[in-house]
Amino acid sequence: GNSVTQMEGPVTLSEEAFLTINCTYTATGYPSLFWYVQYPGEGLQLLLKATKADDKGSNKGFEATYRKETTSFHLEKGSVQVSDSAVYFCALPSGSARQLTFGSGTQLTVLP
């Protein structure tokens, strides 16, 4: 079945630093790919998604490009803020019912 491997954390950066969180996947066909974010004490929010190869999802300054050649969907942000401190999950659908398979999550801490 489909699976996703996510960069191990935690990641600690200074404010305004560049962020990359790696995500690679194994899938049958070309499923949609997602990044979700979980802020402290909250549930999961959809951050961005890409539905086909070469698509770029973007939101709140974050970007990720669906790369079928490298089976990757790395999350990037050019200048992180303290408010970006959260856990980030890469995910893709698996199974006939479209349930999600998640990566292990990456804890990001941004220091002022």
Partner 1 sequence: SAVISQKPSRDICQRGTSLTIQCQVDSQVTMMFWYRQQPGQSLTLIATANQGSEATYESGFVIDKFPISRPNLTFSTLTVSNMSPEDSSIYLCSVYDSGNTIYFGEGSWLTVV
Q: Do residues 46 and 102 make contact, with C-beta atoms less than 8 angstroms apart?
A: no
Q: Do residues 106 and 38 make contact, with C-beta atoms less than 8 angstroms apart?
A: no
Q: Do residues 107 and 21 make contact, with C-beta atoms less than 8 angstroms apart?
A: no
Quote the CA–CA distance of 47 and 51 in Å, as a whole number.
14
Which parts of 20-79 interact with partner 1 (CB under 8 A)? 32, 34, 36, 42-46, 49, 51
Residue of 47, 73, 105, 108 that binds partner 1 (CB under 8 A): 105
Residue of 28, 40, 70, 97 that binds partner 1 (CB under 8 A): 97
Nearer to partner 1, 9 or 17 (CB): 9
CA angle 82, 86, 91 (to 5 degrees): 140
Contact status: 9 vs partner 1 (CB under 8 A): no
DSSP state of 32: -
Least distance from partner 1 to the Cβ atom of residue 83, Å: 18
Quote the CA–CA distance of 60 and 100 in Å, as a whole number.
23
With contacts defined by CB under 8 A, name the span among 21-29, 65-73, 75-83, 99-107 that binds partner 1.
Answer: 99-107
Residues lying near partner 1 in the complex (CB under 8 A) are found at: 32, 34, 36, 42-46, 49, 51, 89, 93, 97-100, 102-105
